[in-house]
């Protein structure tokens, strides 16, 4: 793989994988790989996820806060090549950190953003037997979310919902038999389950 493709792949996956999963994830950040920096220098995760720093070179630390002003949330101390250090982030917020020897002098800083998970509410789930048609309406607290409808019992994906704007979503699917219970999942981590009403 060409180096720049590999680079793009790593950046892309580090950013996207945490967003696709609603389960706790671990994101890796390398320390001192090729110089005085963390890579990727900023990561976005969800509440409950863990960041694992991996030392590519010795003589660096991962210390929460800003250079010269550690805030005490975590401090790996100065570690050697091959070492790892992990910290789990239980709640949303923005968490800067730095390397104690190289933060102030050389700009060796990073940040972890823990994003609020969105909330999905299913406002309508109705099955019209005569037309084998499932009608779904839902709302999401984040109007940029992408919502997917699936059959709760089997996990079968029925399709995406249409984003109507303002956090409102709708979808119609032709499906047999009546799925009875559906799950609406957001790419941002939220999800909801509803029983299907029959008409």
**By C-beta, is 43 or 145 nearer to Cu ion?**
43
As given in the structure block, the two tokens for residue 122 are 């299913």
Total residues contacting Cu ion by CB under 5 A comes to 4
Minimum gap (Å) between residue 36 Cβ and Cu ion: 5
- Per-residue CA distances from 95 to 37, 91, 113 (Å): 16, 11, 6
Minimum gap (Å) between residue 35 Cβ and Cu ion: 9
Residues 6+ apart with CB under 8 A from 138: 120, 121, 122, 123, 124, 147, 161, 168, 169, 170, 184, 192
CB atoms within 10 A of CB 15: 14
**By C-beta, is 73 or 104 nearer to Cu ion?**
104
Contacting Cu ion within 143-182 (CB under 5 A): none
Instruction: Please state, in angstroms and rounded to a whole number, the distance separating the CA atoms of residues 64 and 61.
Output: 10
Asked whether the beta carbons of 125 and 184 are under 8 A apart, the reply is no
Contacting Cu ion within 107-126 (CB under 5 A): 108
**By C-beta, is 69 or 157 nearer to Cu ion?**
69
Instruction: Please state, in angstroms and rounded to a whole number, the distance separating the CA atoms of residues 170 and 78.
Output: 52
Residue span binding Cu ion (CB under 5 A) among the ranges 22-30, 67-75, 92-100, 153-161: 92-100
**By C-beta, is 48 or 70 nearer to Cu ion?**
70
99 binds Cu ion (CB under 5 A): yes
One-character DSSP codes across 38-86: EESSEEEE-TT-EEEEEESSSSB--EEEETTEEEEEEE--SB-TT-EEE
**By C-beta, is 95 or 169 nearer to Cu ion?**
95
Minimum gap (Å) between residue 124 Cβ and Cu ion: 54
Binding mask 31-60 for Cu ion (x = CB under 5 A): -----------------------------x
Binding site for Cu ion (CB under 5 A): 60, 99, 102, 108
């Amino acid at each position: 793989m060409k180096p720049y493709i590999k680079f793009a792949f790593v950046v892309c996956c580090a950013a996207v994988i945490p967003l696709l999963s609603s389960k706790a994830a671990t994101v890796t950040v390398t320390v001192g790989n090729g110089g005085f920096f963390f890579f990727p220098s900023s990561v976005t995760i969800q509440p409950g996820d863990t960041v694992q720093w991996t030392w590519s070179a010795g003589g660096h630390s991962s210390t929460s806060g800003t250079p010269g002003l550690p805030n005490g949330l975590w401090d790996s101390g100065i570690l050697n090549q091959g070492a790892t250090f992990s910290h789990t982030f239980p709640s949303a917020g923005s968490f800067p950190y730095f390397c104690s020897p190289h933060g102030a002098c050389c700009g060796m800083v990073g940040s972890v953003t823990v994003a609020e998970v969105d909330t999905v509410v299913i406002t309508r789930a109705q099955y019209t037997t005569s037309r084998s048609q499932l009608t779904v309406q839902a709302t999401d607290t984040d109007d940029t979310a992408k919502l997917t409808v699936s059959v709760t019992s089997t996990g079968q994906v029925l399709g995406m919902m249409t984003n109507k704007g303002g956090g409102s979503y709708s979808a119609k699917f032709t499906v047999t038999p009546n799925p009875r219970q559906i799950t609406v999942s957001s790419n941002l981590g939220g999800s909801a389950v509803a029983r299907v009403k029959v008409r």
